[in-house]
């Protein structure tokens, strides 16, 4: 049933900002646009998630993909990956954003020593990364045997069936660091040894992470970037009230920082059921927003 509001309507053009006094403190360097994204209790100093600029991108296929999510996080905002796609595809997009920038990066380009140059070229084409870890089992956490970069091979002077073991830089020639190394110390090692990457290995010699010189440089170029506790970009994701029992766990596993129920009407039992599921399964560790609402009751 329609409801008539007797109060007069207003438009934005009816409101004007009256200029105030400009003091010596009114300079750009003193402007702080830090904005809480999630609510927090009175007395708490910081919310769970804050942005450095008050900008969030819409949960739309034509807007919030991985490229915008990375670009906006660099500037201090956050994107919400659109949920109008398969669960697997949305989770993959979240994982791509989380893996793009990190202080300690889990290697996504890995081969065995018996792989060939053809495998190297195919992996570089697929992943877009030039640093490939060579492990005993070809996984990101296998025992590190060496590293292949663009400096280890020349396509014009080699055959594509040459074994990785024959041209990789072997472990004994690499500078590595133990898994107890802090990010600051890792960056110092990179600079002191003029490295582009530093493998981080555990006591048994298994690869844990890489630390890259370019990540340090990118942080200096983007001081407002928003990062999680592991120095990865923040990213959100949209969910619906239909397949949330399958979609939410997949997104959480992918590393999503915050969820938002993507709906034109928030005043519904379906949104409450979705939130109840998240709270029962994850407590307050998974942050979620709901909406849209147009009045206090809704």
Selecting from 3.40.50.720, 3.40.50.300, 3.10.580.10, 3.20.20.80, what CATH number does the domain 110-218 have?
A: 3.10.580.10
Position 297 scores a pLDDT of: 74
pLDDT of 259: 98
User: Residue 29, SS3?
Assistant: helix
Percent of the chain past pLDDT 70, that is, above it, reads 99
Successive 10-residue mean pLDDT values, the chain, 298 residues: 82 90 92 91 82 96 94 96 97 91 81 97 93 97 97 94 97 96 90 95 95 80 86 94 97 97 90 96 94 78
From residue 104, alpha-carbon distances to 168, 201, 205, 284 in Å are 22, 11, 17, 26
pLDDT at 166: 97
pTM: 0.68
Q: Identify the CATH number of the domain defined by range 23-101+226-289.
A: 3.20.20.70
Give residue 298's pLDDT: 64
pLDDT of residue 2: 77
For the chain, the distance separating the N- and C-terminal CA atoms, rounded to the nearest angstrom, is 16
Pairing of strands 197-201, 78-81: unpaired
CA–CA separation, 218 and 95 (whole Å): 20
Concatenating the DSSP letter of every residue in 216-264 gives HHHHHH-TT--B-TTS-B--EEEE-SSSHHHHHHHHHHHT-SEEEE--S
Kindly tell me the sign of the dihedral angle through the C-alpha atoms of 173, 175, 179, 180: positive
What residue spans of 19-156 are helical by DSSP H? 66-75, 87-100, 117-127
Write down how long the chain is. 298
Q: What is the pLDDT of residues 135-190, one digit of tens each?
A: 999 999 999 999 999 999 999 999 999 999 999 999 999 999 999 998 889 999 99
Residue 11, classified by CB atoms within 10 Å of its CB into exposed (0-12), middle (13-18) or buried (19+), is exposed
Question: What pLDDT is stored for residue 102 in this prediction?
Answer: 57
Give the C-alpha separation, 226 to 85, whole Å.
26
Extents of the domains making up the chain: 23-101+226-289, 110-218
Would the CATH topology of 23-101+226-289 be identical to that of 110-218?
no
pLDDT at residue number 101 = 59
């Amino acid at each position: 049933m329609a409801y008539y509001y007797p109060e007069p309507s207003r438009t934005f053009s009816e409101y004007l900002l009256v200029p105030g006094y400009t003091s010596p403190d009114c300079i750009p360097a003193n402007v702080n646009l830090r904005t809480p994204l999630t609510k927090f209790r009175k007395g708490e100093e910081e919310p769970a998630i804050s942005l450095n600029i008050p900008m969030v991108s819409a949960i739309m296929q034509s807007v919030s993909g991985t490229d915008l999510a990375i670009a906006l996080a660099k500037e201090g905002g956050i994107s919400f990956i659109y949920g109008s796609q398969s669960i697997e595809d949305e989770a993959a997009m979240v994982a791509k954003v989380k893996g793009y920038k990190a202080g300690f990066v889990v290697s996504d380009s890995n081969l065995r020593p018996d792989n060939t140059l053809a495998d190297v070229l195919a992996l570089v084409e697929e992943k877009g990364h030039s640093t490939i870890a060579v492990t005993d089992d070809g996984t990101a956490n296998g025992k590190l045997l060496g590293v292949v970069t663009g400096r280890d091979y020349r396509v014009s002077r080699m055959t594509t069936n040459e074994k990785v073991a024959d041209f990789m830089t072997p472990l004994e020639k690499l500078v590595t660091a133990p898994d107890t190394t802090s990010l600051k110390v890792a960056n110092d090692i990179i600079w002191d040894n003029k490295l582009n990457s530093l493998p981080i290995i555990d006591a048994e010699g298994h690869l844990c992470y890489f630390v890259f010189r370019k990540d340090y440089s990118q942080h200096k170029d983007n001081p407002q970037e928003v990062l999680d506790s592991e120095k990865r970009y923040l990213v959100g994701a949209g969910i619906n009230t239909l397949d949330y029992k399958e979609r939410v766990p997949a997104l959480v596993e992918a590393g999503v920082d915050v969820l938002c129920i993507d709906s034109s009407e928030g005043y519904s039992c379906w949104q409450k059921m979705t939130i109840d599921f998240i709270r029962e399964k994850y407590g307050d560790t998974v942050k979620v927003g709901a909406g849209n609402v147009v009045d206090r009751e809704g």
